[in-house]
Structure 1
Amino acid sequence: MSYMENKVVLITGGGNGIGRAAAEVFAREGANVLITGRRAAALEEVTASNPAIQGFVADAADSASAGAAVEHAVKLWGRLDVVVNNVGDGSVGPMELVDADRIAAIFKVNVVYPSMVCAAALPHLEASEGLIVNMSSTYGSKAGAPLSYYAASKAAVEHLTRCWALEFAPKKIRVNAIASGPVETTFMQSRWVSPTM
């Protein structure tokens, strides 16, 4: 029996790319998986081929949807074991061309939303002695131009991860970050100037 058998996993931004791939692996290992995203059609494409994966429409720009996603996972399966904060936002471009609203939007999705998801999930993860996985980026520790606000948001994610690991250790909740390099996803194709960056 797999370690993940009958465990419950919540993956934000699970409609495509890294989130979708992670959902499929968790399901293959026996977990029940709830994926979130803004586009119902993308979620339905994933869930149609795997009964262990369910979808929940949620916009990471709306902090209130974080708690709703956690509640839905617990309603479906009665527990929560793993949270994967995968949803992300970012723009590249010269610093002087990025306005205050755009900067705030990047941090709202990449820093605030994962925080709200984890706050809502905390009592359930404590009960299951669960796991939080925060998706970072190589740019969380590596400088890059013109990536300043995306990179800064991922640096914040990595430091949140370190702080949460210490804070939640007494609750027996593990917290880790994955700093992936460029992955050819629709996110990268739509937002990044060059796939070679």
Structure 2
Amino acid sequence: MQLKNAKVVVTGGSSGIGKATAQLLIEKGAKVLITGRNAEKLEKVAQEIGATPLALDMTDTEQFAAAAEKTQALLDGPIDVLINNAGIGEFAPLGEIQLAQFQSVYMTNVFGLSLLTQAFLPQLKAQKGNIVNIASTAGLKGFATGSIYSSSKFAVRGLTQCWQAELRPHNVRVQLVNPSEVTTAFNQANRAERPEEAKKLRSQEIAHAIASALEMDDRGFIPELTVWATNPF
């Protein structure tokens, strides 16, 4: 697709992978709307990178239809790309897991992601658009204490495959991106961005992967893309 003048929504766009992706797509000429729970932070980041902000809590599913309608008004037309980046994590070993942890993570990572995509689906079908789901290498292989988070990302991978089967006949491309460890604010209690490390991925590498996959001619698409650090050891 051509990113210039494309209308894009990036959830969780006020920091980390979401912010870097929004910034790169804007540099390539796209019109980008970013969402996030913290309206003040979202507004500040939007002004910084030239995006349009829309405060949205991924657990408030009753607001999704209105958010999709408002997005179309803010971007002056239906969207071409939805990047489902917003996500949270909870970690605990089996024996210490609480139901509330599963409910919290799945509400954002799985249920919110699915229902927000559904709200935007008529626009995406009309535009023969693109859905990019951000999962994780944790969605490819489990790890100790990862029951909650890893299973949520396995679910995102399964959702992506289902949507690929459903939406290919409508010329909607559904792509999955699996980052390995990235130095972001993810799982940081103070939500502060972690400093860059020479051997770990930055948000910019994931943004590059997303933009590159989108820029492929519409006759083809990358169903799943995994990004590793070259040598994290």
Same fold flag (TM > 0.5)? yes
Determine the structure 1 residue equivalent to 2:136. Answer: 137
C-alpha distance in 2 between matches for 1:69 and 1:20: 19
Tell me if the contact between 1:36 and 1:69 (Cα under 8 Å) persists in the aligned partners.
no
2 CA distance for matches of 1:132 and 1:48?
A: 25
One-letter amino acid matched to 1:62: D
Matches within 5 A, 1:84-103: 84-103=83-102
Change (3 A) 1:66 1:95: farther
Of Structure 1 and Structure 2, the greater helix share is in 1
1:80 is aligned to 2:79 = yes
- Contact 2:10 2:18 survives alignment (8 Å): yes
For the pair 1:32 / 2:24, whether they are aligned, the reply is: no
Give, in angstroms, the shift of residue 49 of structure 1.
Answer: 2.1
Q: TM-score, normalised on structure 1? A: 0.91
Give the letter aligned to residue 83 of structure 1: L
2-structure distance, mates of 1:68, 1:149: 30
1:153 aligned onto 2:156:
no
How far apart are the structure 2 equivalents of 1:69 and 1:18? 22
Deviation at 1:169, TM superposition (A): 0.8
Per the alignment, in what secondary structure is the counterpart of residue 95 of structure 1? coil
Runs (4+) of structure 1 exceeding 4 A deviation are none
Cα offset for 1:99? 1.2
1:128 aligns with 2:105: no
Cα distance in 2 for partners of 1:147, 1:133 equals 23
Change (3 A) 1:147 1:141: same
Structure-2 separation of matches of 1:141 and 1:190: 26
The answer as to whether partners of 1:131 and 1:174 remain within 8 angstroms in 2 is yes
What value does the CA root-mean-square deviation take over the aligned residues? Answer: 1.7
What is aligned with 1:176? Answer: 175
- CA–CA distance in structure 2, aligned partners of residues 83 and 17 of structure 1: 17
Q: Which residue of 2 aligns with 1:104?
A: 103
CA distance in 1, matches of 2:72, 2:65: 11
Return the letter of the residue paired with 1:7.
A
Which deviations, in whole Å up to 9, do the C-alpha atoms of 1:43-66 show, x marking residues without a partner? Answer: 122111233x11111111211233
Match runs of 1:11-26 below 5 Å = 11-26=10-25
Deviation at 1:154, TM superposition (A): 0.2
Structure 2 unpaired stretches of 5+: 195-231
TM superposition shift of 1:80: 0.5
How many residues get paired?
Answer: 191
Query: Unaligned 5+ residue runs, structure 1?
Result: none
TM-score by length of 2: 0.78
Contact 1:11–1:36, Cα closer than 8 Å, also in 2: yes
User: Partner amino acid for 1:72?
Assistant: K
- Aligned-pair identity (%): 37
